[in-house]
Structures are given as C-alpha cells and as structure tokens.
Amino acid sequence: MKVTEQNRHIYWNPYFGGFLLGLIVLFTFYMTGRGLGASGAMKSTVVAAVDVVAPTHAENNAYYSKFISEDKSPLNNWLVFEVLGILIGGLISGGLSGRIGWKVQHSPKITKRRRLYFALGGGILFGIGAQLGRGCTSGAALSGMSVLSVGGFISTIAIFGTGYLAAYFFRKNWI
C-alpha cells in the first residue's frame, strides 16, 4: 500500500484545530497588536499591482496613494507573508497526504463549469463584501470575537446566518 493511499482521509480533529487557531490569534495579538485577517494581504497585492501597471493613477488615487511610499513596497507587509504561509502550508499538507490534484468537486446535479462560475461569483462577492466591511471574516469574526467585541459577534452571526439563508436557495446544486 502506498503512503498516499494509507493517509488519504486522515484529518486533524476540528476541535484541536480550532484550539490551535485560537492560540494563533492570541499570539498574533501579542506580537502585532492586532488580529488575523487575509483581506489586508489582498489589498496590498492589488495596490502593488496597480502601482506597477499604472503608477500615475496609483499616486493620484486617494485610496491607493495612502499605501504607496518610495522606501517601502506595499507587499512588505506581514499580512502578505501570512497568506503566503497559508498557501505554502496548504500545498505541503496536501502534498504529504496525497490530496493535490486538478479536479473540480461538484454535485452530479451540476456541471464543472457551473460549479466554477458559482465559485468565481462567490469569491467576487466575498471580496466586495470584505472591502465594504473593512475586513474579511477572519478579521471580523475571529479577531473581533477574541477581544469580545460586540461587532465581532454580530459579524459572525451575520456571516453564518446569511450562509444558512443562502444555502436554502443554492442547495439544489449540491444535494
């Protein structure tokens, strides 16, 4: 039996994973003075890309110009390294357990193409929501709740409540 077949469906206990995530949030607050959040890395990446492609536009734009300076790249931000670490760690984990492959998981009731359209649409809506909400779910829920912020609890209830409501309308694509 190959190692990849032997370890194919072994996952960490989700409670242990949640406990470790809580420790990481506490450590992040201790080290940086703020919590986790991935949307800041995306913002830094977009600002750096706009600055490379259209530097005049970036300098004259009220939003982009706040993050651009001559001596420091927007990509020199710990959040960018956090997200890179998550991606690299996921690749290592998937590689060690033999779960890396090019496949699209979907219900037999929908096509691969429709599944990808839904994923792209959801990702775009999530990105827009993260900008409107001034942060992503990890920033709003994990970091907000870890400091007992009322806004963090409201955000978490809204995130999961909206997910449950939306699932009612989209469940036919999966069940």
Q: What is the mean pLDDT of residues 128-148?
A: 77
Q: What is the pLDDT of residue 11?
A: 73
Measure the CA–CA gap between 90 and 96, rounded to whole angstroms. 10
pTM of the model: 0.66
Percent of the chain with pLDDT over 90: 16
Q: Across residues 34-39, what is the average pLDDT?
A: 76
**What local confidence, expressed as pLDDT, does residue 141 receive?**
78
Q: What's the average model confidence in pLDDT over 154-170?
A: 86
DSSP letters spanning 87-135 = HHHHHHHHHHHT---------TTS-HHHHHHHHHHHHHHHHHHHHHTTS
List, in order, residues 6 or more apart from 23 with CB less than 8 Å away: none
The larger pLDDT score, comparing residue 152 to residue 48, is at: 48
Q: Kindly report, residue by residue over 45-98, the tens digit of the pLDDT.
A: 889 999 999 999 999 999 899 888 888 888 888 888 988 998 999 899 888 878
For the chain, give every domain's residue range.
103-175
Summarised one tens digit per residue, pLDDT across range 89-126 is 989 988 887 888 888 888 788 888 988 998 899 888 88
Most confident segment among 23-32, 53-62, 125-134:
53-62
Tokens coding 160? 């999961």
